[in-house]
Chain A
Amino acid sequence: MHHPAADIALQVRGLRKAYQDVVAVDGLDLEVFSGECFGLLGPNGAGKTTTIEICEGLNTADAGEVIVLGRAWNRDDRELRQRLGISLQETQFSEKLTVEETVQLFRSFYRAGPSSGEVIAMVQLGEKAKSRVGGLSGGQKQRLALACALVGDPELLFLDEPTTGLDPQSRRQLWGVIEGLKSAGRSILLTTHYMEEAERLCDRVAIVDHGKMIALGTPRELIAALRAEHVLEFALADSAVVDEVPLLGIEGICASARRDGTYRLQVQELHLAMPALLGELRRQGAQLAELRTHSATLEDVFVSLTGRHLRDE
């Protein structure tokens, strides 16, 4: 993919940021194209929030260059603020105000944009417009945060962990809202540590770990790079151990790893590999205690790249 500069909503080059003793971001390069939803996926502490806050102009980098909508922070702040929509991690709005009053307040900061009623409808909070913020559920509060990010009709939207801490139903509802925004042609940069979220919402995903990008591509490309459509996990009774070499000889099994007594195989043609695997385990005299299989996900991409799970930390 080659994009001319005008189509790049956000460009980050060689970004570095260290706090007292930790390097949070360690030489990161990113490009978000106009109209795409770009995801930063990584475990907690990977440097996602630091990165997005530097892009939002709320934090300063030690080194590197950030160009937002063709402009730079500290030079064009006033204009940039008008054109960006931002939802931070864990903002608590004033509990004494109603949803409508909160949105009106934020709307009053922008020169142009939809009416507060329209924005509230956009995030499906119409019924709650007159309720106090203090009485909203977690999902409703997140949608309010999204509404406040949308009041200026932003060209580029930053969403930092928009669904963290929500129950699955609220999360799906919020995804629906974000999908609606995508189809309206906005550029979005979102961070998340939920692989389902990245898979469902993002056109492209950068996987970050310890402040570095370790993979970049569409979710489909990243999963395809595993060269395995399925992941098969099994554990043996009495934490017994098997010889992995013959397992890798089975047709369709591309990789094997053992962690905490659980074997994890990347498998291409499950229907062929499975009977052969069971045969081999029987030959080695191993007793199965557990057997699971699922289609490969971004989580598996992360595990195969780092040997850790996204939510371990």
Chain B
Amino acid sequence: MQLTQVRYREFFREPEAVFWVFIFPVLLAAGLGIAFRNRAPDVTSVAVVNTDSAAGRTAEALRQSGDIEVSLMSDAAAAEALRTGDVALVLVPGGKAGVEYRYDDTRPESQVARLMVDDALQRAAGRRDPVPARERLVHERGSRYIDFLVPGLLGMNLMGSGIWGVGFAIVDARKKRLLKRLIATPMSRPQYLASFVLSRLTLLVIEVGLLLGFGALVFGVPFRGSLLTLAGICVISSLAFTSLGLLVSSRVQTMEGASGLMNLVMLPMWIFSGVFFSASRFPEPLQPFIQALPLTAVVDVLRANILRGAGWQVLAPDIAIIVGWMVVSFLLAVRLFRWR
């Protein structure tokens, strides 16, 4: 159909749009993937304040245990190092009164250091563990940050291209009075709106293929679910965001207005929907709101499918949320849409 073809041409002749939709997410994935690549287990740095001769012995005992890097410092220097994050914990030997740990209990690495240092000290002092323990280390693909990130980026990209791609094109046409000119022809209005949906669906193939292909080839992100299910999820999600884009742009007259409104719609989802970190980190009272956001549902479904291989039955509740957004926004958009 001519209208859909026009959409492609307009899109591909806009180099910036091609960059933001196709290339940017891949670059973002690459950047974050490298930044958060799996490193060797962290070495914990602690400072021992050299109050007396016992300090030297304590430091030596800690060094024996491996994994802990120990520096002897004056009281002031140790406080400074703790403040700047150079050490995770400061240990003050106190002779017979035992030791004092100084650390910030909101810093995870300080808590780890507290446990490791205490453990090493107690063992050095002769503690014996009543339960023997062995260790077997597991590095599983699918549990790394990049594995978590790629489905999140995919969801974010589906949202961005759906809302921006449709919204800007429509508001631009309205501002140029092209919409008005089009309805002065026998063109069918539903077909016009459908052309946006159709063109999105085809561009989707490239968009999803590029990002996931990159994730799979470069970072070895596993695909545990059926690819057909994944394709279905992408189509439904994209339709939902395209409908949302239609709704956002159904009345706005200026680009500035459109831009503001789109950001208003997308900002909560960028923040709350768990693209970069798990949405469950937000406080409990916010959760019903967060879970109802379309991007939260999309990202959850994508992760469940890609990382855990979940099928339709498991995904059904989230899919229902996505479909709900799609239907409601589409119907509202059609009702509110202003052609002039």
Binding site for B on A (CB under 8 A): 56-58, 78, 81-82, 84, 86, 88, 90-94, 96-97, 101, 104-106, 108-111, 148, 152
* Closest Cβ–Cβ distance, residue A303 to chain B (whole Å): 32
Contact of A109 among B177, B178, B186 (CB under 8 A): B186
Across the interface, do B178 and A94 meet the contact criterion of CB distance under 8 Å? Answer: yes
A17 CA to B176 CA, complexed, in Å: 24
Contact of B13 among A93, A96, A104, A148 (CB under 8 A): A96
Is B181 interfacial (CB 8 A cutoff)? Answer: yes
Is B57 interfacial (CB 8 A cutoff)? Answer: no
Contact of A86 among B2, B176, B184 (CB under 8 A): B184
Q: A78-B186, A91-B178, A94-B173 are in contact. List 4 more A-B contacts (CB 8 A).
A: A56-B184, A86-B185, A88-B184, A93-B181
Binding site for A on B (CB under 8 A): 1-3, 6, 9-10, 13-14, 173, 176-178, 180-181, 183-187, 340
Across the interface, do A88 and B181 meet the contact criterion of CB distance under 8 Å? Answer: yes
Q: Show 21 residue pairs from A and B whose CB-CB distance is below 8 angstroms, ordered by the A residue.
A: A56-B184, A58-B183, A58-B340, A82-B186, A84-B184, A86-B184, A88-B184, A91-B178, A92-B176, A92-B177, A93-B178, A93-B181, A94-B10, A96-B14, A97-B10, A101-B9, A106-B185, A108-B3, A109-B185, A109-B186, A109-B187
Known contacts A78-B186, A105-B2, A152-B185, A88 near B14 by CB under 8 Å: no
* Closest Cβ–Cβ distance, residue A88 to chain B (whole Å): 5
A101 CA to B3 CA, complexed, in Å: 10
Across the interface, do A81 and B176 meet the contact criterion of CB distance under 8 Å? Answer: no
A92 CA to B184 CA, complexed, in Å: 14
Across the interface, do A91 and B177 meet the contact criterion of CB distance under 8 Å? Answer: yes
A108 CA to B2 CA, complexed, in Å: 7
A110 CA to B187 CA, complexed, in Å: 8
Residue of A nearest to B13 (CB): A96
Contacts of A78 in B (CB 8 A): 186
A94 CA to B340 CA, complexed, in Å: 16
A109 CA to B180 CA, complexed, in Å: 15
Contacts of A104 in B (CB 8 A): 2
Across the interface, do A148 and B181 meet the contact criterion of CB distance under 8 Å? Answer: yes
A90 CA to B180 CA, complexed, in Å: 11
Main secondary structure of the interface of A (DSSP, over half): loop
Contacts of B184 in A (CB 8 A): 56-58, 81, 84, 86, 88
A272 CA to B155 CA, complexed, in Å: 87
* Closest Cβ–Cβ distance, residue B215 to chain A (whole Å): 31
Contacts of B340 in A (CB 8 A): 58
A92 CA to B186 CA, complexed, in Å: 19
Contacts of B181 in A (CB 8 A): 86, 88, 91, 93, 148
Contact of A105 among B3, B13, B14, B177 (CB under 8 A): B3
Contact of A110 among B10, B14, B185 (CB under 8 A): B185
Residue of B nearest to A91 (CB): B181
* Closest Cβ–Cβ distance, residue B131 to chain A (whole Å): 71
Contacts of A148 in B (CB 8 A): 181
* Closest Cβ–Cβ distance, residue B177 to chain A (whole Å): 5
A93 CA to B6 CA, complexed, in Å: 12
7 closest A-B pairs by CB? A92-B176, A108-B2, A81-B186, A96-B13, A86-B184, A109-B187, A109-B185
Residue of A nearest to B186 (CB): A81
Contacts of B186 in A (CB 8 A): 78, 81-82, 109-111, 152
A90 CA to B175 CA, complexed, in Å: 11
Across the interface, do A81 and B185 meet the contact criterion of CB distance under 8 Å? Answer: yes
Contacts of B3 in A (CB 8 A): 105, 108
Residue of B nearest to A110 (CB): B186
Known contacts A58-B340, A101-B6, A110-B186, A92 near B180 by CB under 8 Å: no
Residue of A nearest to B1 (CB): A108
Contacts of A97 in B (CB 8 A): 6, 9-10
